[in-house]
Amino acid sequence: MNSSEQLFQRAQQLIPGGVNSPVRAFRSVGGAPFFTKRANGAHLTTSDDVELIDFVCTWGPAVHGHNDPNIREAIATALNDGTSFGTPNPYEVEMAARLVEIVPSVEKVRMCNSGTEATMSAIRLARGYTGRNKIIKFAGCYHGHVDSLLVKAGSGALTLGNPDSAGIPASFAAETIVIDYNDAEGVREAFANGGDDIAAIIVEPYPANCGMILPDAGYLELLRKLCTRNQSLLIFDEVMTGFRLALGGVQERVGITPDLTALGKIIGGGLPVGAFGGKAEIMDYLAPLGPVYQAGTLSGNPLAMAAGIASLKKLKDTNPYPLFEKMGAQIRDALLEAAREKGLALQVPQVGSMFALFFAEKPVRNLDDATSSQTEHFNQLFKYALDHGVYLPPSAYETCFISTAHDGADIEQAAEVLAAGIRSI
């Protein structure tokens, strides 16, 4: 029994399922998870000293790879002054200023500790600001484990075969209207039937928790138009896409400004973080100025803020986005070519540093399309890749990430391994 197997056996006695986040359990792809003891750049080293090229990037935050020297230095400098103060600190002001400058929708911002907190708080704020109850979300979009949003969710919930959850009262779920992503008529109908009680639409503008799905032409524009017309708020969940697909996220790429935006991952530089921001008039409904309560002991933690500031500064200074497009396209094209040679139907939606694989005949436009794909082919590819030094997300319903630490050799090697894996199916 190797070290990872021993650790997992021990962990299962102490931690539910042996993991602290369900998708890490490898239930979807089979087998037991490996344990990582060290990570540098684009590579993970397992507890058994196996080195892997990493395309999970801690599920998104590691946009500069692992153990980035600039981020490490920023954390060390902040650490010299303490770990947490329970008072305002200069780092959180600088982070707020950077977010207001970078993200088109953000005039004011509130820091919190996770993407789940960010979406939960944005929903509460939308309801408090509008005085309405209903929320529209889209099947397959995962917005954290918030009671009212864990309905037809993606990410780990979908990987485990159940996009809902026990422990959520039906009355909570009843306040959530679930529509298929890219269903224009469904959104129009929801507003026609009860637009005066719809507080907000919350959406991953490019859904990335059930693979990666791209919007139909004009779809995000329609959501903006309907929200404006019905005095509902449009919330973009850019926890995953923020700062990855452009410095200002999807909203910068497509030129659509939501009322509120949920952020996370990259702005913590690998430490726990979340944020939500938007129009000043709406944000001022938060306590202590307004009636919507939200708080957090570690919100704006100086270590997380210092790490996040370093991460954002490096993105702004280096502008890696053209290179991300090139590297992502290189992997995409290699995968598609191998699938053509093998005679397999494969879709590889890819934007910049994010890509996914669907073994399906037609482009995947919604959750039903995603779950109809040949996931067993992905599972075979995952195992082949892992055996040959490439780590993909352990689920057919997750998105792959590229970092600034991936160099040409990493991308070329990964493309060769993944192409060979497809040919082996």
Provide the annotated active-site residues.
142, 237, 265
Q: How far apart are CA 149 and CA 158, in angstroms?
A: 13
Q: Which residue(s) pair with 51 in the sheet?
A: 45
Q: Which two tokens stand for residue 192?
A: 């026609």
DSSP for residue 88: -
Cβ(57)–Cβ(418) under 8 Å?
no
CA atoms within a 13 Å half-sphere pointing along the CA-CB vector of 266: 29
The answer to whether 261 and 107 have CB atoms below 8 angstroms apart is no
With contact defined as beta carbons under 8 Å apart, do 4 and 34 qualify?
A: yes
Which amino acid appears at position 328 of this protein?
G
- What's the CA gap between 18 and 6, in Å, rounded? 11
Pairing of strands 350-351, 354-355: antiparallel
Beta bridge partners of 53: 43, 390
Q: Which of 270, 269, 192 is nearest to 232 (CA)?
A: 192
CA-nearest of 237, 248, 259 to 140 is 237
Across 170-183, b (16+ Cβ under 10 Å) vs e yields eeebebbbbbbbbb
For residues 148 and 3, give the distance between their C-alpha atoms in angstroms, rounded to a whole number. 40
Rg of the chain (C-alpha set): 21
